[in-house]
Amino acid sequence: MLRTRIGMLCIVGVFAVTGCKKKDDQKKPTKKPATTKPAPEKKPETKPEAKPDKPAPKPEAKNENLHTEEVSYTAGATTLKGYLAYDKTIKGPRPGILIVHEWWGHNEYVRRRARMLAELGYTALALDMYGDGKNTEHPADAKKFMETVLGNFEEGIKRFKAAHSLLTKHATTDAKKTSAIGYCFGGAVVLNMARLGLPLDGVASFHGSLQSKKPAQKGKVKAKLLVMNGAADPFVPAKSIEAFKKEMKDAGAQFEFINYPNAKHAFTNPAATAKGKKFKLPLAYDKDADTRSWDKLKGFLAGLYPPAKK
């Protein structure tokens, strides 16, 4: 979802001096020679430095308490590259949260969310659904990556399970307490994992697709569901919302569905607006919806994993 360039400095200097000779071959009053003053030296012209449309975002302050690392793992013959984050000052195991990326792939955005979860006291793993940590800035490539996974969803399930296994085996994770969140494509992934009955306590979807690869069966969904959607998201029409709600009710699932007024697709991603304009897509960042949905997630996770009483 723009860039400015700094103009080059141009310096121009002009000097001019002219004069005339005296005429003394005629008996006429001598005229003073005409003189011209030198043209004043032109001052260097400088173009004002171009300013960005909006001030650059402040860099994220580094939290010295966090341990972060890139991790490699496999699913079949595919090498996957994730990102692990946790607070090293916390003693003992704590709940683990998986984060599934948008259709852009495993990028800095999903890693930032992992750090945010680590600051809340969880062990967070931003997983990789495409392989080799692949990501892109172009929607045509993103669509290809996404469709490759959705076209062979059995492979996608294996990749999710491989990440879940890695997370549960980590020394800082309480293997009996895991949940998953996802954004956009990732929201669809985590909802489908819940439909399959994977061992997750909770699943949260941010502006994710609601369509199912395989509709939930009665009693199959074990995880509590939190679905946060943009009311102005054209990718999630009203009929999809109604169908999802009916599916979950029929399956006996515990779920909460929230529609944020005027929020478009990708409302949690600060880069969404620029990408939307660049590629003419209905994407837009909504600070209010982003803040409210993150606060909702914090409450959702706190309800699943209440802090131990002292």
Give the pLDDT confidence score for residue 99 in this predicted structure. 98
The SS3 assignment for 160 reads helix
Q: Which domains does the chain have, with CATH numbers?
A: 69-304 (3.40.50.1820)
Q: Give CA separation, 93 vs 29, 116, 140, 165, 171, in Å.
A: 111, 18, 41, 15, 7
Beta bridge pairs of residue 225: 203, 255
pLDDT < 70 positions in the chain? 1-59, 308-310
Q: Name 259's bridge partners.
A: 229
Instruction: Give the angle 141-145-147 at the CA atoms, nearest 5°.
Output: 115
pTM score > 0.75 for this model?
yes
Beta strands in 119-216 (DSSP E): 123-126, 173-183, 202-206
Helical (H) or strand (E) element with 245: helix 238-251
pLDDT, position 62: 84
DSSP-based three-state secondary structure for 115: helix
Q: How much is the pLDDT for 20?
A: 34
